[in-house]
């Protein structure tokens, strides 16, 4: 018998082993499929499957040799189907302004961060009341303060994309829009393990290219219902009044945790959040 020939019995055993290996791997992926969320809804979020690792750059050294045991497993795992990936959202013509059909719920959102001067205090207040919110982070801020982005995700908050440098999107070329959004998504995914599912255009200024590129990156556009205008620093009481006067089912509130002096925003949250809860509102985050 030649060295490259395999006895019939041995071939049969290899086929059985390969089948068992493939079945085990498919079973693991089946769990991922079962847990994966369905189409976009207005209830609670679930993270997407992590993206596959990037291919090595041209000329980069080859990956280290696999240990013998891992190498022997490769032919078996090669029978597995590709990892489940979330379907891309449709290209919208306008952003969501509120959460339709959400019952007596509201969504609190904070833009421009993270900022170590204000974001930690906002996170502490939200945690004290057992509330989740959405943070639309700028990529340049997220890259400087990854620990705060990680804290957002660890506390169950939704981390959204607010561009890299907060430009006026309609004045940018499509290639620059893609760079602003994709770079920020990459930082968020690298920091939290999950790519963002929502994005918000700086200044609320959207255009067709931003909707198209956002959808290609797997994100839905979310605007707001109530603007606290806290960036103008109108006073803590004014911010509180605007939130309470605008409260209602499905309302999305816009505030900021960076981009200037946000001490009024921090103080206002401590006041209006317990009042909203006392009035029977459920503060939640959207689910896709």
Chain-centre distance for alpha carbon 248: 25
* Token representation of residue 28: 């693991």
Q: What span, in angstroms and rounded, lies between the C-alpha atoms of 154 and 168?
A: 31
Give the span between the Cα atoms of 220 and 197, in whole angstroms.
Answer: 6
Structural tokens at position 240 = 């509180």
Distance CA 144, CA 126 (A): 23
**111 is an active site residue:** yes
Look-up of token digits 């994966």: 36
Q: Nearest Cα to 164, choosing from 208, 207, 117, 196?
A: 196
Q: Which residue has the tokens 């990892």?
A: 83
d(CA 243, CA 85): 38
For residue 269, count CB atoms less than 10 angstroms from its CB and return exposed for 0-12, middle for 13-18, buried for 19 or more: buried
At 253 the three-state DSSP class reads strand
Tokens of 104: 């007596």
Among residues 145, 157, 166, 256, the one annotated as catalytic is 256
- The active-site residue, picked from 111, 115, 230, 257, is 111
Give the catalytic positions in this structure: 111, 256
């Amino acid at each position: 018998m030649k060295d490259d020939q395999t006895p019939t019995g041995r071939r049969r055993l290899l086929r059985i082993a390969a089948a068992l290996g493939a079945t085990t791997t498919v079973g693991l992926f089946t769990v991922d499929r079962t847990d994966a969320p369905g189409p976009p809804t207005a209830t609670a979020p679930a993270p997407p499957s992590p993206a596959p690792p990037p291919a090595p750059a041209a000329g980069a050294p080859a990956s280290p040799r696999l240990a013998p045991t891992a190498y022997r497993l490769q032919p078996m795992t090669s029978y597995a189907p590709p990892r489940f990936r979330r379907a891309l959202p449709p290209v919208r013509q306008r952003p969501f302004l509120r959460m339709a059909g959400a019952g007596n719920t509201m969504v609190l959102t904070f833009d421009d961060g993270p900022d170590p001067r204000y974001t930690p205090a906002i996170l502490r207040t939200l945690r004290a009341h057992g509330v989740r919110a959405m943070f639309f982070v700028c990529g340049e801020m997220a890259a400087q303060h990854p620990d705060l982005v990680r804290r957002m995700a660890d506390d169950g908050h939704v981390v959204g994309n607010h561009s890299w440098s907060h430009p006026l999107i309609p004045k940018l070329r499509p290639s620059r829009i893609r760079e602003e959004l994709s770079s920020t998504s990459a930082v968020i995914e690298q920091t939290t393990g999950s790519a963002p599912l929502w994005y918000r255009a700086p200044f609320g200024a959207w255009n067709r290219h931003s909707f198209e590129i956002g959808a290609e990156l797997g994100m839905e556009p979310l605007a707001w219902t109530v603007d606290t205008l806290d960036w103008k620093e109108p006073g803590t009481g004014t911010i509180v009044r605007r939130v309470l006067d605008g409260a209602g089912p499905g309302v999305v509130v816009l505030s900021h945790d960076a981009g200037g002096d946000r001490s009024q925003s921090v103080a206002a949250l401590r006041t209006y959040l317990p009042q909203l809860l006392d009035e029977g509102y459920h503060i939640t985050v959207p689910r896709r």
